[in-house]
């Protein structure tokens, strides 16, 4: 029960890595609130609130509700994120056939970057008043090393690392640690729908020779949220099976 009686918020927690993280935290004693645009509680001892992380007013109302019910917020996991993958410039037969659209680029930045900013800005004051808190941000291995066709996604995940390091400096003296997790290829529902030959290639590029599981990432978040990581601040924990050195 490493998170006994802690109050934890997990954004984008209705499914995937967020849902697994919420369940893991609840099993370790936390009172978990999932924020998502749609869905339901992913397990027992987990509450659900419809929240749009791109809206500062939606986030502020959710923080106010959490504090009114629980009196504190101990952990924030900024997990919400979207993809709108496309080439910056698509060329066919030597001619430009298309480009990444403004709408897609802006949508990814709005959720993956502005959403992290909105939630952290809203939650941090409560943690400062408490003199204690854990803020955990979802980056990605591609935010460290780039990836073909993911200009917008990579931009947000690299920027999240930068914000993590700034906030670690700013909030650390207040008793609030800020860290990031950078998953590699994780077997989410979306990933497992990829063609079999693509999945095989991913495994072959990963030195531990398997796809990551949701629980691999959830346990990384659990460690960083717990007292075991009290001296870890401004870190980026890669959970990728060594995929980078395997490419």
C-alpha closest to that of 144 among 162, 129, 126? 162
Distance CA 137, CA 84 (A): 20
C-alpha closest to that of 45 among 13, 63, 22, 20? 22
- Cβ-based neighbours of 106, under 8 Å, separated by 6 or more: none
**Catalytic residue selected from 145, 153, 221, 223:** 153
Active site residue 153: yes
Distance CA 139, CA 24 (A): 19
Inter-helix orientation angle 151-171/115-130, to 10°: 20
Q: Which residues are annotated as catalytic?
A: 153
């Amino acid at each position: 029960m490493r998170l006994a009686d802690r109050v934890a918020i997990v954004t984008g927690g209705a499914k995937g890595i967020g849902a697994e993280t919420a369940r893991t935290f609840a099993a370790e004693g936390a009172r978990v609130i999932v924020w998502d645009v749609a869905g339901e509680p992913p397990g027992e001892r987990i509450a659900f609130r419809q929240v749009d992380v791109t809206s500062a007013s939606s986030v502020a109302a959710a923080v106010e509700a959490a504090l009114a019910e629980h009196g504190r917020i101990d952990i924030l996991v900024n997990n919400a994120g979207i993809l709108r993958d496309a080439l910056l410039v698509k060329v066919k037969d030597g001619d430009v056939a298309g480009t990444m659209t403004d709408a897609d680029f802006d949508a990814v930045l709005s959720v993956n970057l502005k959403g992290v900013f909105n939630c952290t800005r809203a939650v941090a004051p409560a943690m400062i008043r408490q003199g204690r808190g854990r803020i955990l941000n979802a980056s990605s291995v591609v935010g460290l090393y780039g990836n073909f066709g993911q200009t917008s996604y990579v931009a947000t995940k690299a920027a999240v690392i930068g914000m993590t390091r700034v906030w670690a400096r700013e909030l650390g003296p207040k008793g609030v640690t800020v860290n990031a997790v950078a998953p590699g290829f994780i077997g989410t529902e979306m990933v497992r729908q990829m063609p079999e030959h693509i999945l095989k290639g991913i495994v072959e590029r990963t030195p531990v020779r398997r796809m990551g599981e949701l629980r691999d990432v959830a346990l990384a978040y659990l460690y960083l949220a717990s007292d075991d990581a009290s001296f870890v601040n401004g870190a980026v924990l890669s959970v990728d099976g060594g995929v980078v050195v395997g490419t």
